[in-house]
Amino acid sequence: MTTNTSGAVTTGGGNARSERLLWILTGATFLIFFQAYMVAPLLPRLAAVFHVSVEMAGLMVPAYLMAYGVATLFYGLLSDRIGRRPIMIASLSAFILLTVLTGFSQSAEQLTTVRLLTGLGASGVVPLALALIGDLFPYRERGRPLGWLFGAMAGGMAVGAVAGVMLEPFITWRGLFFGVAAAATMVLAFLLPYRDLLGNKSGTARPTLGTLFAGYRTLLGSSRGQRTYAYVALNAVFHSGVFTWLGVYFSRKYGLGDVGIGLALLGYGIPGFLLGPVIGRLADRYGRSQLIPVGLLIAGASAAALSLDMPLIGAPILVTLLSVGYDLTQPLLAGIVTDLGPNRGQAMGLNVFTLFVGFGSGSLLFGAMLPLGIETALHVFGAGAILLGILAAFLFRSEMHK
């Protein structure tokens, strides 16, 4: 057992305590994405509750996502200097407190503000969990644990979207946030006995602006880093833009209510939750060069097909395929990020910053296109993802088995 430069304890992929910590981090990741994505399908309901337009209510989503993304830049860098432990515990605690406060919001403006603060406070957990995978597992074995974490993200998105909209009539939207806070408190209690694996305070000197920018120049100075982060951003814009407004899509196009929307979204995230580790193993064995382009092509074609006239039964199938496209891209891109430089906290912080700013931007961009018609927005987003997939076949051809 050794300690790396970031202060995290490296135990190797087969250690039982590392595996149990992986499950706890998976639970924390699931809850953070659960609460992040249970809001989007509730937008029609929240707009009615607070007497605002759907577009105004929709600002709650990018407020959280973009604040989350910006804060990760600081958490990741700081964790490379003082260790993962204090940052992760403090961030998870902030997530619990601010999620409780969200449930007490009395207006759309208050809810949006608290969501923004929650994004700032909670954004230390997932990027540091991803960075810890780099600390605890060698590169050739990271596909499986990264698959679990990204499967938890996908599962949280899926279950949050479905459970949130279906449970709201029974426990209210406030009860949803209180329930998430209670579950996160349990995760924190499970995490504390494993805090030694999160790393102690590092002896590395306090970072300066020079070392900060030097780290980013290293990450973005190679063509590998540039294309990886670019695809993280553009893929996030695509998926968040489409997913955020799927509740409105099913409401307007098929006249579905809350329960119907929840059922229609049931397939989103389930493939990643079930197949995330399998996809990770495939990436470890065969490389990422083929899987990433295929994922983009599947997702783009699914989004474009949603704009067509079809029976209601066909749309949820396309939503599931959209999710498969996500599962074949973002986890594999994150695996490349863990291999870009020595400071994994900074590298993964930049990755999650790029991911969540992309998420927020995609939500805003798709929303801005709604006056043109939701079908038009789906056409544009789908065509963009297909083009990215074609280019990825050439840009990522060097990402073979390593």
What CATH number corresponds to the domain at position 292? 1.20.1250.20
Whether 401 is in a domain gets the answer: no
* DSSP letter for each residue of 196-210: GGG-----SPPP-HH
DSSP category for residue 308: S
pLDDT attached to residue 369: 92
pLDDT attached to residue 347: 80
pLDDT attached to residue 77: 66
> How many domains would you assign to the chain?
1
9, exposed or middle or buried, with CB in 10 Å at 0-12, 13-18, 19+?
Answer: buried
Q: Which residues contact 54 (CB under 8 A, 6 or more apart)?
A: 43, 44, 47, 248
pLDDT attached to residue 272: 66
Whether 53 is in a domain gets the answer: yes
pLDDT attached to residue 297: 96
Indicate the residue type of 393. A
Digit-by-digit pLDDT tens for the chain (402 residues) are 444 444 444 444 447 888 888 899 999 999 998 998 788 778 878 888 898 887 788 888 888 888 888 887 777 667 767 777 888 899 999 999 999 999 999 998 999 999 999 999 988 888 788 778 777 777 667 777 877 887 787 778 778 877 887 888 889 889 999 999 999 999 999 999 888 777 655 444 555 666 777 777 888 888 999 999 999 999 999 998 998 888 889 988 998 877 788 788 877 767 766 776 677 777 767 778 888 999 999 999 999 999 998 899 999 999 999 988 988 898 888 888 878 876 766 787 788 788 888 888 998 899 889 889 999 999 999 999 999 999 999 999 888 654
Whether 174 is in a domain gets the answer: yes
Whether 212 is in a domain gets the answer: no
- Return the exposure string of 272-300: e unless at least 16 CB atoms fall within 10 Å of the residue's CB, then b: bbebbbebbebbbeebbbbbbbbbbbbbb
Whether 143 is in a domain gets the answer: yes
Round to whole Å and give the CA distance between 149 and 237.
20
> What backbone phi and psi angles, to 5 degrees, belong to 10?
-95, 120
- Residue whose C-alpha is closest to residue 256's, from 350, 211, 319, 207: 319
270, exposed or middle or buried, with CB in 10 Å at 0-12, 13-18, 19+?
Answer: buried
Indicate the residue type of 278. V
Whether 1 is in a domain gets the answer: no
pLDDT attached to residue 3: 45
Q: How many Cβ atoms are within 10 Å of 252's Cβ, its own excluded?
A: 15
Token pair of 135 as six digits: 């600390």
pLDDT attached to residue 8: 44
How would you classify residue 91: left for phi > 0, otherwise alpha for psi between -120 and 50, otherwise beta?
alpha
pLDDT attached to residue 298: 95
Whether 3 is in a domain gets the answer: no
Query: Does the CA dihedral 344-345-346-347 come out positive or negative?
Result: positive
pLDDT attached to residue 208: 62
Indicate the Cα dihedral angle 388, 390, 394, 397, nearest 10°: 90
Indicate the Cα dihedral angle 201, 202, 208, 211, nearest 10°: -140
pLDDT attached to residue 230: 94
Total residues belonging to the chain: 402
- Residue whose C-alpha is closest to residue 241's, from 306, 147, 170: 306
Answer whether 143's CB lies under 8 Å from 399's CB.
Answer: no
Token pair of 134 as six digits: 């780099």
CA 368 to chain centre: 22
Adjacent-strand bridge partners of 10: 2
Whether 213 is in a domain gets the answer: no
* DSSP letter for each residue of 19-60: HHHHHHHHHHHHHHHHHHHSSGGGHHHHHHHHT--HHHHTTH
pLDDT attached to residue 5: 41
- Residue whose C-alpha is closest to residue 36's, from 48, 24, 28, 45: 28
Helix (H) or strand (E) holding 349: helix 344-368
Domain with 155 in it = 16-201+218-395
Answer whether 202's CB lies under 8 Å from 7's CB.
Answer: yes
Token pair of 367 as six digits: 């929303």
